[in-house]
Amino acid sequence: MSDYFRPIPCETGRWQLAGGWLRFSRYELLRRGEAPRVVDSAPPEVLAALTTPRADLLGLSLDRPRLMGIVNATPDSFSDGGRYDGAEQARLLAGQGAEILDIGGESTRPGAREIPVAEEIARVVPAIRAAQGLAAVSVDTRKAAVARAALAAGAGLVNDVSGFDFDPGMAALVAESGVPVCLMHAQGIPETMQDNPSYGDVLLDVYDALALRIARAEAAGIPRDRIVIDPGIGFGKTQVHNLAILRRISVYHGLGCAILLGISRKRFIDTIGGAEAAADRGPGTLAVTLAGIAQGIQIHRVHDVAQTRQGLALWRAVTEGE
């Protein structure tokens, strides 16, 4: 039986979590089929994974939360597709304080269909070029050919929502280029992922799936300190699944990688908070973002950078003392 250890934050904790802003002394021990229980110790390798400071990402230290602004250079994204020019949005979000700009040219909303490589490249490259010098740049793509063109245009990170499942050439490209990568968990592909997602224990099933993705990346020559993980909220997951992950998301620190959280404007915020229009889900997005920060999540992918930055500034003022 596998054991999973979730660090329990405590201001006076003995250990610093992932070199960041939280401390802990105790753990919640999680086992399949058993109720969670609090314990005082964990194996040395678990403690090492939880406490090792995460490597800088794109020149940014991860000892405090970082904001990744979403630039959808697409006509059909669920939230804001076709409502702006990608290059202009990159400049806007950088001005609002985005430290990373995540530029994507293919929608991965539920039901979205794959588009041709050439079309995706034509969408993302102008925005990536426009973003140079404004913030660090990530390309949101599942395809090695698109990633290669994006890196040539100035992107410095590959954000693969398939976690290397979609394109067999992506791992080799990332290893060859030497850039960091974000590996996300998704059950299925966008066209069908919300048809009937099913798990035994979603929190731990996603943990194991991410561990396999990390191992596959390492086998391809990508060191763990260049890997970011994303549990993939809303990607092949129901509202119940999403909430189960969010309540205990700090367990994923045990994988020894920085964690990215992407919950911005997602449907479950409407279901719970009553905001049918995606653009009205900013308050709910901020609430979940701050809950993630309270569990040590380092990177937050958001549409509303200015509002999130304001909320984060207030959170830091309150929690960091005088």
Give the pLDDT confidence score for residue 226 in this predicted structure: 98
- Catalytic annotation present for 237: no
pTM for this one?
0.94
Q: Provide Rg for the chain, Cα atoms.
A: 19
CB 309 within 8 A of CB 96: yes
Q: Which amino acid is at 257?
A: C
Torsion sign, CA atoms 125, 126, 130, 131: negative
Question: What is the tens place of the pLDDT at every residue in 133-188?
Answer: 999 999 999 999 999 999 999 999 999 999 999 999 999 999 999 999 999 999 87
| Lookup: tokens for 128 | 């990536």
Give the pLDDT confidence score for residue 18 in this predicted structure: 98
Among 6, 142, 213, 266, which one carries the catalytic annotation? 266
Question: What is the tens place of the pLDDT at every residue in 201-231?
Answer: 999 999 999 999 999 999 999 999 999 999 9
Q: Which residues pair with 103 in a beta bridge?
A: 71, 139
Q: If you search the block for the tokens 């979403």, which residue do you land on?
A: 70
Among 6, 109, 248, 301, which one carries the catalytic annotation? 301
Q: If you search the block for the tokens 């959170």, which residue do you land on?
A: 315
- Say how far apart CA 164 and CA 43 lie, in whole Å: 30
- Mean pLDDT calculated for residue range 250-279: 95
- Catalytic annotation present for 301: yes
